[in-house]
Structure 1
Amino acid sequence: MDIIKNLALFFLIFFCVFAEGFSQEAITEKELESHIQFLTADSLAGRFPGTKANQQVVNYLVNDFKSNNIPTLIQEFEAKLRKDTTSVTTWNVLGLLEGKDSILKKEVIILGAHYDHLGKKRDSIYHGADDNASGTAALLEIAEKIVAHKNEIKRSVIFIAFGAEEQGLLGSQFFVENPIVPIKNIKLMINMDMLGSLNEKSHVYMGGAGTFPGGEKLMKKLGKPNHVNPVVHAGSVDGSDHVSFYKKGISVLGIHTGGNENYHKPTDTIETLNISGEVNVANYIYQAIMEIATSEWKLKFIPQD
């Protein structure tokens, strides 16, 4: 059964876009910056789960997917907060592009990034520009570029903005326990968490490249044409939402540009980011997805120590 026919069975809210629109092919510094400016605005007070600001972010993500003619869905779940164990309602936001190959479209690649952050503590807003407004902005821009080439993809692609990652990977855990497609059909999950601090050596770090055939070679090969210097690990699967997928026997890539002195501090603001460098990182990730989604690349899970 086609993926799209299954979707309504799994979601609380289903948005589908029918109007014709235009998806921009280029990933631009201007658009990345615009997304990050919205996500780090003082009015959103650090994008904490369960707040009105959280709802505003969800609306923004839905509207962006819809504006690019991506069928868009919301997955609602309860998140138990670390600070006091109370539960709040929050959401994952998903967009779906179905592949064009009658057989390979049953295989799914997921591109994800968490949109939440730490909120406000005392009088300080934890803006979370690098962590993870940068990844969320890249998710939207890469999705838009893939839509511009949607007729080329053989495999299906699901874009997911996860909620409540900072509370313990809760959004991704909820998704893998409540997937919209059979879990066995998810062949690769690429996670973006902190893409805004590309250094002078253009290092892009990743773990999990050995969890699928040819992963290490592919990610190294794509570095130079995209003006980045990949630091590729076969294993090292830890730290963010891709872990939830790895635990289910799904191949993963966890991609970031390294830690910095602003991590989990109020000083993680847009002014500290290398947004022009993020354009290169986003194009690098886009190219990796297209290499796999448009081909008959043999995908299987390879566990790592």
Structure 2
Amino acid sequence: MIRSVLAAVLLVAACSSPPASDPAAGETATATAAYTAQFHDSARARSALETLSSDEFEGRKTGEPGNLKAREWIIDQLEARGVDPLLVDGFEAPFSTASFSEGKEGVSGINLLAVINDQPGAPVIVISAHYDHVGTGEDGIYNGADDNASGVAALLEAISWFQENAPETTLVFAFFDAEEMGIAGSAAFVHDLPEEIEDRLAFNLNLDMVSRADKGDIFAVGTYHYPELVPVIDAVAAEAPLTLSKGHDSPEWGNQNWSTMSDHAPFLRAGVPIIYLGVEDHADYHKVTDTFDKVDPNTFARAVDTVLMVAEAIDEHVASNGE
């Protein structure tokens, strides 16, 4: 359903777009040209990105007041969407890594967990994004617009989509804390899986830095480890509004191998199939200049639609393969 609609839209766009002078210019033009979002509310997504990356949240560092404000804001968004918490006590899932950090000082924080279509026996896909960032420094506030207010905004739009378009699997939406402190929140989640899903975990789709596709492409990381996902990603790539590339997940990438660089890493180490969606590093990565004004609205709208297409494809793949 989702792919056939988008294919028709892209065909119209392709017929009306002027030819580019070279392939690289064509990619950039496609990303920044006017684009109407097909599967999400782009104004709402952009507002979420702007809000979460504003000075009010003081860089969202774990354990600091700005992080608490961010957590409260996300909970407000979840309640407004009418999505259910995974846990009986609510959305918050406090954690500490002290019990398994092998002598290192433990990290504490609070993950936020929501669920859609929680059916007994259904395989579980965790769709995740971390909401923390690195706080403030002598040079100002590290607002973390791309890293990772963008992933949180996209994750909220995924909730809205699947609330209206029921998935075939059980979807857990995880807003992880303390990613910037050693990928602690997701590590704690995987180490001590909630009993509600511990026997059903089948997949992790992780979103981290999805807005600054400045060259018109976003990477799907994980097919090197799970080759059976190649046709899944290729099918989406054929119709996605951004260039969806495979890579950054094998030894040949050297220090640009992202296999263990974000919250998908604990899942991968536990033998859970993963796809990580993210853009390549840019000049504003982990700087005070990673701000809302650097995000092109059309590029971001294309990115969120691409995220939703991948999420739909993964849901279908996991359901059809009885993971």
TM-score w.r.t. structure 1 length?
Answer: 0.80
Q: Are 1:56 and 2:74 an aligned pair?
A: no
Unpaired segments ≥5 residues, structure 1: 1-24, 301-305
Deviations 1:17-71 (A, max 9, x none): xxxxxxxx84132112111111111121100111121111111111111211111
**Residue type of the partner of 2:302?**
N
Cα deviation for residue 206 of structure 1 reads 2.1
Q: Are 1:286 and 2:308 an aligned pair?
A: yes
d(CA) in 2 for partners of 1:156 and 1:211? 23
**Residue type of the partner of 1:250?**
V
Q: Are 1:158 and 2:172 an aligned pair?
A: yes
Q: Match for residue 219 of structure 1?
A: 233
Q: Match for residue 188 of structure 1?
A: 203
**Residue type of the partner of 1:217?**
P
**Contact 1:54–1:90 under 8 Å retained in 2:** no
Q: Match for residue 41 of structure 2?
A: 28
Q: Match for residue 124 of structure 1?
A: 140
Cα deviation for residue 185 of structure 1 reads 1.6
**Residue type of the partner of 1:113?**
A
d(CA) in 1 for partners of 2:189 and 2:297? 30
Cα deviation for residue 94 of structure 1 reads 0.9
- What secondary structure is seen at the aligned counterpart in 2 of 1:226? coil
Q: Percent identity?
A: 23
**Residue type of the partner of 1:195?**
V
- What secondary structure is seen at the aligned counterpart in 1 of 2:59? coil
Q: 1:230 aligns with which of 240, 244, 267?
A: 244
CA-atom RMSD in angstroms: 2.2
| C-alpha distance 192-47 of structure 1, shift in aligned 2 (>3 A) | same
d(CA) in 1 for partners of 2:286 and 2:322? 36
d(CA) in 2 for partners of 1:88 and 1:222? 37
d(CA) in 2 for partners of 1:227 and 1:49? 34
Q: Are 1:139 and 2:155 an aligned pair?
A: yes
Deviations 1:244-270 (A, max 9, x none): 111111000111021100011000001
**Contact 2:211–2:299 under 8 Å retained in 1:** yes
Q: Are 1:175 and 2:192 an aligned pair?
A: no
Q: Match for residue 321 of structure 2?
A: 298
- What secondary structure is seen at the aligned counterpart in 1 of 2:185? helix
d(CA) in 1 for partners of 2:228 and 2:115? 25
Higher normalized helix content (fraction of residues): 2
d(CA) in 2 for partners of 1:116 and 1:182? 24
d(CA) in 1 for partners of 2:199 and 2:296? 37
Q: Are 1:45 and 2:58 an aligned pair?
A: yes
Q: Match for residue 125 of structure 2?
A: 109
Deviations 1:220-249 (A, max 9, x none): 221232212121136552210000111111
**Contact 1:245–1:252 under 8 Å retained in 2:** yes
d(CA) in 2 for partners of 1:221 and 1:260? 27
Cα deviation for residue 207 of structure 1 reads 1.4
- What secondary structure is seen at the aligned counterpart in 2 of 1:241? coil
Q: Match for residue 240 of structure 1?
A: 262
- What secondary structure is seen at the aligned counterpart in 1 of 2:153? helix
Higher normalized strand content (fraction of residues): 1
Q: Are 1:76 and 2:98 an aligned pair?
A: no
Q: Match for residue 116 of structure 2?
A: 97
Unpaired segments ≥5 residues, structure 2: 1-37, 86-90, 99-103, 251-256
**Residue type of the partner of 1:98?**
N
d(CA) in 1 for partners of 2:266 and 2:239? 31
TM-score w.r.t. structure 2 length?
Answer: 0.76
d(CA) in 1 for partners of 2:219 and 2:62? 28
- What secondary structure is seen at the aligned counterpart in 1 of 2:40? coil
Aligned residues: 266
